[in-house]
Amino acid sequence: MKKAKLSLQAIIIIFVCIVVALSLGITDLLISKGIISSVEETQKEKALNVAKMVATSPQVVGVLEGENNQEEVQDFSNRVKDLTKVNFVVVMDMKGIRYSHPDPGKIGKHFRGGDEGPVLQGKEYVSISKGLLGPSMRAFTPIMNLQGKQVGAVAVGISLENVTKAVHKGQMGMVIGTLIGIMFGVVGAVGLAGYIKKILLGLEPFAIAKLLEERSSMLQSVREGIIAIDQKGKITLVNRAASKLFKKAGLEGNPMGMDIEDYLPETRLTRIIKSGETELDQEQNLQGVTILVNRVPVVVENQPVGAIATFRDKTEVQVLAEQLTGVRNYADALRAQAHEFMNKLHVILGLVRTEQYETLANYVSETVNHRETEVGFLTKKVLDPVLAGFLIGKLSFARESGASLSIDCTNKLPKSADQKITHELITIIGNLVDNAIEAIADSPNKKVELKLDFAEDILTIEIKDTGMGMTQSIQNKILDKGFSTKGDNRGFGLFLLAQAIERLEGELIISSKPGKGTNFAVYIPYKVGDE
């Protein structure tokens, strides 16, 4: 069973909590040691100060020298103990005999603890020992008379329990601070996680990684070249197809990170960022390689942050367009033939049902003779069977459209040495015939004449129609891509025609006058293949 992945919000919350807890925990540990040391040092100083105060008291010195009543020491020591809140104040003579004690019954007895020896030798110190009142921190100070002679010692005790309480009190403050810090850390982590998730459009890291992999695979698999730049004009993306085209154009090196103007000075992508406008199906010369480019700005929150260009070798696009045009022409021809044949079958069926057999025989004979005449003429004059079949189909298409199409081929048209020329001829003739048939749609005299003439390695294709003709301004635009007088989404047939003629290094002459029809003449170099 696949384990469920933690969400980005949960990961951030857990991570922040761990970091905050560790940070505060380590800080607490370090400060706690400081607090313990500080509290202990403070208690030591307190005990020593109390001991020094008692040791310098004239009453205490006087009692130890035998000048004052011994009870004065007990009273004084108890008052000091109560005021300073220490555990005990014990005054002893040089033999370690107590002169004061919280328990009056212990007065006159020897001091217990075993740590009083050094103070009777004149040393001042602090020790920890267990006495009659339990474990305590003891500060020892020698008592000196006015002549500087030691006459006794003072022991001031502070209960270790009190020291521990003071330490715990300081630590509790740290614990409370740590818990408050963790609480604020959790709140901050939740807010941070929510903000990051909003920026990432609610996507989890694994989903972003998957999308990135899919995006990379998609960009590298498409046949179109893709290049992207950021707002500063630096190249941020180049896919495999783009690199291949750049290499074909002689552009070497890795363009990633380069300035687009340095690598492709004519790209115009930086202009797209400034204008924010889209440019589609634009031609661009890439060091001798003609490409078709689409340029689109990348907009985030109504601000252009970069631009993307997709492009493809124009040659590949032309081949695809030619293939589509040829297929369309073939399909139109076949559909026209099938439609014409179905109409004839309907006539034959009607004559059979009405038992007009003599009329039927004449109709079938006439149809067969007409068909044989058409087919025989074209197959005899046009030796390329593909082109001949295409022209036969166009005759059917013209009849279906209600037009009269006549084909004249003075000399035999041999098969071309280059099979690609046949496909180009289908594109040229198909578009000329279709355009002529459309031109005579509203004309009372619907005639189209197609003439093919081959001589001295030049193929002449001439087509005349009895349409409405064209003005000179229309003739100047008729070969432009997308220009048409017949409505939107038209104007590509004659554009492809012009490109095909250009590839064959041919020539096109248009002659037309309003009201007097149009004449297209095409001259193409044509090399004959082996018979």
CATH superfamily of the 356-525 domain: Histidine kinase-like ATPase, C-terminal domain (3.30.565.10)
Task: Tell me the pLDDT tens digit for each residue of 357-401.
Answer: 677 666 665 665 555 456 666 777 788 887 887 787 787 778 777
Q: Is 361 exposed, middle or buried (0-12, 13-18, 19+ CB in 10 A)?
A: exposed
At the topology level of CATH, where does 222-315 sit? Answer: Beta-Lactamase (3.30.450)
Residue 322 or residue 331, greater confidence = 331
Task: Tell me the pLDDT tens digit for each residue of 408-445.
Answer: 887 888 888 777 788 788 888 888 888 888 888 888 88
Radius of gyration of the chain (CA): 55
Residue 339 or residue 430, greater confidence = 430
pLDDT value, residue 364: 63
Banded model confidence at residue 521, pLDDT cuts 50, 70, 90: very high
Domain boundaries, the chain: 9-166, 222-315, 356-525
* CA 441 – CA 485 distance, rounded (Å): 13
Give yes or no on whether 9-166 and 222-315 have one common fold: yes
* CA 218 – CA 72 distance, rounded (Å): 101
pLDDT at 403 over 70: yes
The secondary structure of residue 441, as a DSSP letter, is T
* CA 416 – CA 386 distance, rounded (Å): 11
Minimum mean pLDDT range among 92-96, 185-189, 424-428: 185-189
Task: Tell me the pLDDT tens digit for each residue of 9-20.
Answer: 777 777 777 877
pLDDT at 477 over 50: yes
Query: Are residues 321 and 315 in contact, defined by beta-carbon separation less than 8 angstroms?
Result: no
Banded model confidence at residue 344, pLDDT cuts 50, 70, 90: low
Give one DSSP letter per residue of 55-104, joined into a string: HT-HHHHHHHTTSS-THHHHHHHHHHHHHHT-SEEEEEETT-BBS--SSG
At the topology level of CATH, where does 9-166 sit? Answer: Beta-Lactamase (3.30.450)
Mean pLDDT of the 273-282 span? 80
pLDDT at 512 over 50: yes
pLDDT at 162 over 50: yes
pLDDT value, residue 337: 58
User: Which residues share a beta bridge with 135?
Assistant: 130
* DSSP E strand stretches across 249-395: 279-286, 289-300, 303-313
pTM: 0.40
Percent of the chain at pLDDT exceeding 70: 77
Banded model confidence at residue 318, pLDDT cuts 50, 70, 90: low
Residue 340 or residue 63, greater confidence = 63
pLDDT at 120 over 60: yes
Task: Tell me the pLDDT tens digit for each residue of 37-56.
Answer: 777 788 888 888 988 988 88
Q: What is the overall mean pLDDT for the chain?
A: 77
pLDDT value, residue 330: 55
pLDDT value, residue 1: 42
